Amino acid sequence: MSTVGSIIEGGSRKPTTLASLAGMAQRGEAFACLTCYDAATARWLEQAGVHLLLVGDTAAEVVLGLPRTIEMPFEVLLALTAGVKRGAPSTVVMGDMPFMTYQASPDAAIENAGRFLVEAKADIVKLEADASFAPLVRRMASAGIPVCAHVGSKPQHVALTSGYRAQGRTRADADRVLADAQALEEAGAAMLLVEAVPSEVADEVVSRAAVPGIGIGAGTACHGQVVVLHDVMGLLEKTPGLAQPVANLGPAIREAAMQWVRRVAERDFGGKTFTMREPEA
């Protein structure tokens, strides 16, 4: 049975959980992930059979129009995550912890991660991490907070790297990525996300790990694959090389809006109209 068919029976979707994703990974079945930022879109993506929705800090750029993901306001991302979960209650929803919501202190990190689970109803939180974050991941796991550890290229570190850079392209750097993944899994990470590394590095991460691995720009070895929704749906004028669009919705939205402009100019709005009521006797 296909992956989609295994989760949709009789027109209604069976809930996807972290445990069911782990089961898929163990069986060698790939699961699909997309970013999402609103309830209406989440509803369509759940109906399509997408297994995991990441409410990413990319919302800073594609929703708020900010120049960098590190400028994502925490309270806004909490609200967006809650909306996505309301739209897709049977889908795993991952909250992306924004810059400086977990780096400053372990206590603040646990409190902020807890808000994702309690207020935003997220199933799991993601944080960009290396081996030095293992004690924090251990504390989170001990507190009952599922963590996805993001290794490889880390967008929140662009100030250090002067832009987005692939990782693991030398043996020494690849060993560092592998060591990070191993340390974070041993600390209790329930999932790994590997970004922008050579496929053979991602293959090593996945083969060594006992938890599901999600890839982005990391070849085909990972159990799950994630891309930014706006990239894969053709909603942006420029698409990064990590995502090959499967649709071209940007021009379609523009054409629909142009039709509305013409209808307004012609005073041909369509839709329901109202009439005056007859006066009561």
Assigned token pair, 246? 């499967």
Q: Round to the nearest angstrom and report the end-to-end CA distance of the chain.
A: 67
3-state secondary structure 15-69: CCCHHHHHHHHHHCCCEEEEECCCHHHHHHHHHHCCCEEEECCCHHHHCCCCCCH
Report yes or no on 269 lying in a domain: no
CATH of the domain at 75: 3.20.20.60
Residue 110 burial class via C-beta count within 10 angstroms: exposed 0-12, middle 13-18, buried 19 and up: middle
pLDDT value of residue 35: 98
Cα–Cα distance measured from residue 34 to residue 49, given in angstroms and rounded to the nearest whole number: 11
Report yes or no on 278 lying in a domain: no
Owning domain of residue 73: 3-247
pTM of the prediction? 0.92
pLDDT value of residue 33: 98
Report yes or no on 178 lying in a domain: yes
Question: Is 195 in the active site?
Answer: yes
The total number of structural domains in the chain stands at 1
Angle between the N-to-C axes of helices 74-87 and 39-48, in degrees from 0 to 180, rounded to the nearest 10: 40
Which residue of the set 46, 61, 185, 195 is catalytic?
Answer: 195
Tens of pLDDT along the chain (281 residues) come to: 344 444 443 346 789 999 999 999 999 999 999 999 999 999 999 999 999 999 999 999 999 999 999 999 999 999 999 999 999 999 999 999 999 999 999 999 999 999 999 999 999 999 999 999 999 999 999 999 999 999 999 988 876 666 678 899 999 999 999 999 999 999 999 999 999 999 999 999 999 999 999 999 999 999 999 999 999 999 998 877 777 899 999 999 999 999 999 999 999 988 888 888 888 76
Report yes or no on 276 lying in a domain: no
Report yes or no on 115 lying in a domain: yes
Sign of the CA dihedral 193, 238, 56, 65? positive
